[in-house]
Chains A and B, each alone.
Chain A
Amino acid sequence: MHSTIVRGQNVFGFFTTVCFVVAALIAASDLLAPRTPKATVAVKDLQVVRGRPHYYSTKKEEYAIIRFSLSADLSSLFSWNTKQVFVYVSASWPNSTLGDAGKGEMVNEAVIWDTIITNPSADHLQNLGPAAMKKLVRSAKGKKIDPSRSVYPSYLQHPSAELDFLLTSKVSDHVPDRKLAETDNMVLKLHYNVQPWVGVLTWTPQIEFGSWKKVKGGISKAFKLPAIKAKKAAEKKSA
């Protein structure tokens, strides 16, 4: 009853119990932090070109080039239990070949752009040398989110900076019939995925849940892809 091993076992058991209870409390604290993200996504320019997926490919397929602007304020997603936020914009469109069965439903969906915004508390996980790490830690000191965190997101982090960001994305192969030209009712949507330090992963909510609101905006107007561009232009693009 009072041997060293039994005592050791008890201490270890108590230690793991405490660890799990603390972890559960931290995970539950997520619900208390309000989430009120907002975003605007707008399509700027559309093009469909024909090209080959790689040099040796004999099949030609269609690529949609979508330029869109995005401005978003996701700062409310960052709490002490946020490790990173994965932000992505998807294009979704109904299937024309399904007829009535596929109407109205967004059958096809493809991520055309994504980025990861890490929380400064995840810096020690970055694969960096000591000098670069020091610089990174210094740049993030005292801030909830570091603006210089990644290539794009400075505009994602400052609600006041309404910076339109243009970007070209391709929705390409894997489309079953390899055709994209004149696709109707396409829509762009902003989504996010919050990765916690411990606990439940959360995605863009479909319904409002306590203090977690839906994304304000974040959906573009429905648009139709144009017909294929003339051959010359297509070759220039795929080159």
Chain B
Amino acid sequence: MLSALQNPRQAAAQLLNFGLILSTAFMMWKGLSVISDSPSPIVVVLSGSMEPAFQRGDLLFLWNRNLLEETKVGEIVVYNVKGKDIPIVHRLVRKFGLGEEAKLLTKGDNNLADDTELYARGQDYIERKDIIGSVVAYIPFVGYVTILLSEHPWLKTVMLGLMGLVVVVQRE
């Protein structure tokens, strides 16, 4: 930090570098979002309702385009329920009809009953537009950091502090 104060040009370069890293990450996320046509192409599993397939903290890659065929029964989809902001990862078990108006029913592999209870009041099926993507790929455990951060907010402070410390101590 002290050296940075003495050399404003270097401080500016460091700041730009930091901004570049941030914007690269953001553009990669948005680019993936455009390619997969999903508002959130990578999700972290938050509950154990799909165990043993998915544990908490596993990372899922979503795909939301129907290039060759429609979303089928048996696919694992991530969907949003009206009035609830947490997306749910469950398997599609019933489909009646075709295309946009098809009535879809989901169920968690580890749950006994289907999801009718999870849907909004008076809603007993979901539609294609409620789905934000089908799971296509899987990496275990990597997303657990985000669960830790959201469940223990003090960790955020610790991380920020550590980063600040690194910036202060670092010479170049």
Contacts and interface: CB of A to CB of B under 8 A. Distances in A.
Contacts of B100: none
Interface in A186-239: 191, 193, 195-201, 203-204, 206
Interface string A99-115: 00010010111110010
B53 A195 contact: yes
A200 B105 CA distance: 24
A199 B124 CA distance: 33
A176 B53 contact: no
Interface string B79-111: 000000000000101111110000101000100
Interface string B131-172: 000011111100000000000000000000000001001111
Contact of B137 (A5, A105, A191, A200): A200
Nearest to B59: A198
B138 A84 contact: no
Contacts of B74: 86, 88, 90, 111, 191, 193, 203-204
B73 A201 contact: no
**What size tier do the contact residues of chain B reach?**
20 to 34
Contacts of A195: 53, 138
A126 B52 contact: yes
Given A174-B124, A197-B140, A110 B73 contact: yes
Considering residues B73, B91, B103, B139, which has the most beta carbons from chain A within 10 angstroms of its beta carbon?
Answer: B73
Contacts of B93: 110-111, 114
Nearest to B54: A195
Contacts of A105: 98
B55 interface: yes
Given A83-B52, A108-B96, A114-B93, 18 more contacts: A5-B170, A84-B52, A86-B91, A102-B98, A107-B96, A107-B97, A109-B95, A110-B93, A110-B95, A111-B74, A174-B124, A176-B97, A193-B74, A196-B138, A198-B139, A201-B136, A201-B138, A203-B75
